[in-house]
Chain A
Amino acid sequence: MMRRLSCVVLGLLIGAAPAFGQAKAKATTPEIPFDSAANFLKLPPGLYMGEGTGVATNSKGHVFVFTRSGETRLFEFDQNGTFVKEFGVGSYGFAFAHAVRVDKDDNVWAVDEGTNVIQKFSPDGKLLMVLGKRPDPLEQLAIMPGGGQYSGGNRPYTFHRQTDVAWDPQGNIFVSDGYGDSRVVKFDKNGRFVKAAGTRGNGTLQFSTPHAIAVDQKGMVYVADRGNSRIVVLDNDLNQKAVYDTVGAPWAICISQGAHPYLYTSNSFPTGNNFDQAGETGEIYKMELDGTVLGRFGKAGHGFKEFSSVHQMDCRNPDELYVAEITQWRVQKLTLRPPTRTSSGR
């Protein structure tokens, strides 16, 4: 009863904010043809996907999937989709998966918003670093339920439902934090706090659920400001430099590697939303880092080549994307083909 009431409240909040809606660039953007291998990942018998909240690849093409199954679990598959191993079995830092990222040294970073912890694993699964701290469960008892809402604690070494992690070429660590705070936190490569920027709102250096983060080769920081339907670009010292607001609500963003990096962003179909809004959301955009929109693909839906609340994307290779979905329990591997302008021009 109470839970249902809170859902109603949440629904109203989502309804009030532009969490979904028609992206301004949609009608004028050329359509990119693509193929999908939806059953690319082969789970061993007895293992099941849950909500696909995180996906990333390493330099060898191995695919890492962070999923809310019965327990939150982190799986590794090889480049052919064959199961390799599981990371952090039974870890204290796995309660509610949010994102997984692979750094330039192929270390695997798991962002868990149920424990407020980010774990850094070596490629062979050894725990190398822990950022954040799981709240003392005994302290949680007296304040439950109702936790997990925005409270803006803005503390240097603890997160509040942080959402994603990224690194600049020097190895500095950037965390988008998150549902309970509204900020970006910068640490040096040794995990020491450098600074934090951002409060709740829709103004300059304000965020409404910063949901994903990416850093380019120059160290510029791209924040997916989901609730404000915009991507906010910060410099390496977390000063605001630009806003891209024509591509819908960015649930997932990523920057491809190589000489000419591209920015991808997903205007995801909101989890739990009524499907009559599916026609207005669900597409993924390909952009230049300066915000120029190059193309788009996909639409909301549970079906083949459709997207059901894309939650994270990997775009190491700009023409070969992995997308993890919440409301269809899967990861799709997408192969993009050269863009063609749609004949209708819509």
Chain B
Amino acid sequence: MKRISGFFVGASAAAAVLAASLGAQSVSEINYDANADLISLPSYGEVAGVATNSRGQIFVYARTGHAVATLGDERTFYHGGSRIFQFDSSGKFVKEIGQGVYAVNFAQQIRVDPQDNIWIVDAGSNQIVKFDPDGGYLMVLGRKPENIGVRPGTGMPASAPDVEAARNTAAPERGRGGEGGGGGRGGAAPGAGINGDGFSRPSDVTWDRAGNIYVADGYGTNNRIAKFTKDGNFVKTWGSTGAGQGQFNQIRGIASDAAGNIYVADAGNKRIQVFDGNGTFKSQITNIGTPQAICVSGGATQYLYSSNSNDPESLNGGDIYKVQLGGQVVGKFGKAGKMAKEFGMVNAIDCRTENDLWVAEVWNWRAQKVTLKR
């Protein structure tokens, strides 16, 4: 992240000119309204995910409160740090679900499947949890590392902490000293998300029409998609780290269309790759900035939305693209900022209907309802 942000700062002037000359001419602006006040979090924090169900109820997965370390028998355990909130269609808070659930640690995404089941993706526990429409537990994928590997302290100030290195090593280093530490390498099938070969900061989940489950895995070192049956049995995995077809550099989102095509937000390569349900590469979409949150709308004619989420150290970009499934850009809307109608690192888009969206913002600690206008 440090290296990436450095690049962005250095190249920002050139990038801005480039974006202006390319973007302004070729991509039309979509008029829109946004309401940042429709829902109010019972406890403030970074909104990583937002999703609606078929009844218009709204679910939010937010990083709020604090992750807590518990000192144990020569090990340190951790829990907490995120919460799941449910609101009715008018935005009124209804209830919290998943209180105290083992996997709820560092919110990354929330999605509602066609049967209104609620799925959370947690990058701290490296788990995906399926709840029924009322919030009851149904299924878990992946295993949480049993404990965190806190390095012994030296008592000396750290020399400029390298956050990039930390990100790359945190997941594998955690979970030592216990059977089934999520990050450890073992004999299990790659990508199975179970004992011996866990997810590495998974970012998102989607389903095809048969109910097969596709996990975006993710922000960490794996750079792969893991496929499971609707019952949670591992089917296969595809992908590796790189820039070629079927390779990924930080997968931040995943979505599927009615035909069962799988769209993967390959953020580091600034593209969305499209696969069939067996992982065969079909095409890629490259003119939409850095995709972070992606969503395929409902309805007879489906559209793909993709957020060109702003780099952490700038308020450049931030626009959300509306794209035909074939890859042609219809238009875009919004920009990065901290005011109403602006976007602070969009990490989730819900697009159940084509022109009524919910967007979740990590930096602005809110979810906005966005209405696109003709």
User: Least Cβ distance of A180 to chain B in Å?
Assistant: 10
Central interface residue in B62, B123, B153, B161, by most chain A CB within 10 Å: B161
Q: Does A156 contact B (CB under 8 A)?
A: yes
Cβ proximity bits B28-70 to A, threshold 8 Å, 1 near / 0 not = 0000000000001111111000000000000000111111000
The answer to whether A137 touches B67, judged by C-beta atoms less than 8 angstroms apart, is yes
Chain B 65-80 near chain A by CB (<8 Å), digits 1 or 0: 1110000000000000
Q: Considering the chains assembled together, what is the distance between the CA atoms of A40 and B45 in angstroms?
A: 32
Asked if B338 contacts A191 (CB within 8 A), the reply is: yes
Is the Cβ of A138 less than 8 Å from the Cβ of B43?
Answer: no
Closest to A140 in B: B166
A173 to B233, CA, bound (A): 53
- How far does the alpha carbon of A157 sit from the alpha carbon of B362 in the complex, in Å? 13
Contacts of A16 in B (CB 8 A): none
Closest to B162 in A: A143
Is the interface on chain B under 10, 10 to 19, 20 to 34, or 35 or more residues?
35 or more
**Which residues of B have CB within 8 Å of A136?**
106, 167
| A142 touching B173, Cβ below 8 Å | yes
B245 at the interface (CB under 8 A from A): no
Quick check: B313 and A91 within 8 Å, CB to CB?
Answer: no
Per the bound structure, the CA–CA distance linking A191 and B158 in Å amounts to 31
When distances are taken between beta carbons in the complex, the residues of chain A under 8 Å from B150 are: 141, 144-145
Instruction: Give every chain B residue within 8 A of A151 (Cβ-Cβ).
Output: 160-161
- B22 interface hit (Cβ, 8 Å): no
Residue in A6, A89, A135, A158 whose CB lies within 8 Å of B313: A158
Q: Is B3 an interface residue (CB 8 A)?
A: no
CB neighbours of A191 from chain B (8 A) = 337-339
B315 located at the interface, meaning its Cβ lies under 8 Å from any Cβ of chain A in the complex: yes
Contact (Cβ within 8 A) A2 B313: no
A138 pairs with B170, CB closer than 8 A: yes
CB of B44 within 8 A of CB of A157, answer no
Give B124's nearest chain A residue, CB to CB.
A138
User: Considering the complex, which residues of chain B in the window 210-259 have a beta carbon less than 8 Å from any beta carbon of chain A?
Assistant: none
Name the B residues within 8 Å of A142 (CB-CB).
151, 165-166, 169-170, 173
Query: A126 interface residue, CB < 8 Å from B?
Result: yes
**Interface contact A137-B124, CB-CB below 8 Å:** yes
Taking a contact as CB atoms under 8 Å apart, the answer to whether B312 and A158 are in contact is yes
A126–B312 Cα gap in the complex (Å)? 24
How near does chain A come to B339, taking the closest CB pair, in angstroms? 5
- A residues less than 8 Å from B187 (CB atoms): none
The answer, yes or no, to whether A134 is at the interface (CB within 8 Å) is yes
The smallest beta-carbon distance between B219 and chain A, in angstroms, is 9
Closest to A6 in B: B155
Q: Which of A92, A133, A146, A151 has the most CB of B within 10 A?
A: A92
The complex places the Cα of A108 from the Cα of B143 at a distance, in Å, of: 42
Name the residue on B nearest A128 (C-beta): B338
Contact A127 B365 (CB under 8 A): yes
Contacts beyond the supplied A131-B338, A133-B363, A138-B171: 17 A-B pairs with Cβ under 8 Å: A2-B153, A90-B44, A92-B65, A95-B66, A119-B44, A127-B365, A127-B366, A130-B344, A138-B124, A138-B170, A141-B148, A141-B174, A143-B161, A146-B158, A155-B5, A157-B314, A190-B337
Which B residues are within 8 Å of any A CB, using their own CB?
A: 1, 5, 9, 40-46, 62-67, 81, 106, 123-124, 148-158, 160-163, 165-167, 169-171, 173-174, 201, 312-315, 337-339, 344, 362-366
Q: List 26 A-B contacts (CB under 8 A).
A: A2-B152, A6-B153, A88-B44, A89-B43, A90-B43, A92-B45, A92-B62, A92-B64, A92-B365, A95-B66, A127-B41, A127-B44, A127-B366, A130-B338, A136-B106, A137-B124, A138-B123, A141-B170, A142-B165, A143-B163, A144-B151, A146-B153, A147-B161, A157-B312, A158-B313, A190-B337
Q: Which 9 residue pairs are nearest across A and B when measured between Cβ atoms?
A: A92-B45, A146-B158, A149-B157, A90-B43, A191-B338, A5-B155, A142-B166, A143-B161, A6-B155
